[in-house]
Amino acid sequence: MATALIIMSVGWFLVTLIAGVRSGARGWIDVALNREWLTFRSGVSIFLVIAALLSVATGRFLAGGILLLSAAAVRLLSPRVTGANWDFDDLGSHIASEVFFHCLAILGAALGLAGVVLGLLADLQTAPRVTLALTLGLAGLVAVNKSAARTRKLCSEIGKRSSAVARSFARLHATCDADKSDPGIKELQRKCLEDVDALARALDTRLNTGYRMIGTPVLPFFAYRRIVAELCIAARSGDKNATPWRAAEPKVRKIARACAKWTDEMA
């Protein structure tokens, strides 16, 4: 039954993708990919967790552990699709949800591994079995703490670099407003570009893991490329009333505000 449900979900996902490709609707494909993949991932994860709980309830620890490991793998090895399915206004909830579900998947992996070990070593006495289960549970908690600390550290760094960008542009705009022929403007523009580059590197870092292929980005790909381009153009312009800066400045504030909730200088 589980195999049939998974095959049906994958089949529907592929049909949706092929239909979009044949119609040439690129924007529709991006939206469909995000929606269908998130639905598929969530559905499979929920089904596997329920099946694991039922297996454990009936004393089948090995099967329950395998199912729970599978559910954790679905979440850990399939990052959120990087299309336009969240934006700057959703950044706070995006970070919170990614941290929560990533940590939940890590705990699920630890519990699943404990179930597999207990199932394979069913002849062990009670004391060693409890020791193994507690050891794996504590290892899961350590991994969760490390993952959450990584997110807090990244958000702290993004917050600092966002503030640096805002200060650099404020100095550039003040100087341009006072005297557009000021020879120091070139140096201020260079400083703005350096701070934008530093912010871009931080935003390009994955939230919950150091591995790019299985980590979730802070911003969707196109939103990330757009804000970096807007800031670079705004730095070369120096005009605070120009469209690039007026478009980018609210986004920088939203990024800083979302990351401020996770600021931890000691992480």
pLDDT tens per residue, range 87-145: 788 888 889 888 888 888 898 899 888 888 888 887 778 788 888 888 988 999 999 99
Give the burial string for 63-90 (b: 16+ CB within 10 Å, else e).
Answer: bbbbbbbbbbbbbbebbbbbbebbebee
Q: Which residues pair with 217 in a beta bridge?
A: 206
Q: Which two tokens stand for residue 267?
A: 């992480």
For the question of whether the overall pTM of this predicted structure is more than 0.85, the answer is no
Is the pLDDT at 24 greater than 50? The verdict is no
CA–CA separation, 53 and 49 (whole Å): 6
CA–CA separation, 107 and 84 (whole Å): 29
Question: Residue 188 class from Cβ within 10 Å (0-12 exposed, 13-18 middle, 19+ buried)?
Answer: buried
Residue that the structure tokens 């020791």 belong to: 131
Contacts of 213 (CB under 8 A, 6+ apart): 79
Residue that the structure tokens 């596997």 belong to: 48
Sketch out the chain's domains with CATH numbers.
2-149 (no CATH), 150-260 (1.20.120)
Is the pLDDT at 161 greater than 80? The verdict is yes
Where is average pLDDT lowest: 6-15, 78-87, 167-176?
6-15
3-state SS class at 126? helix
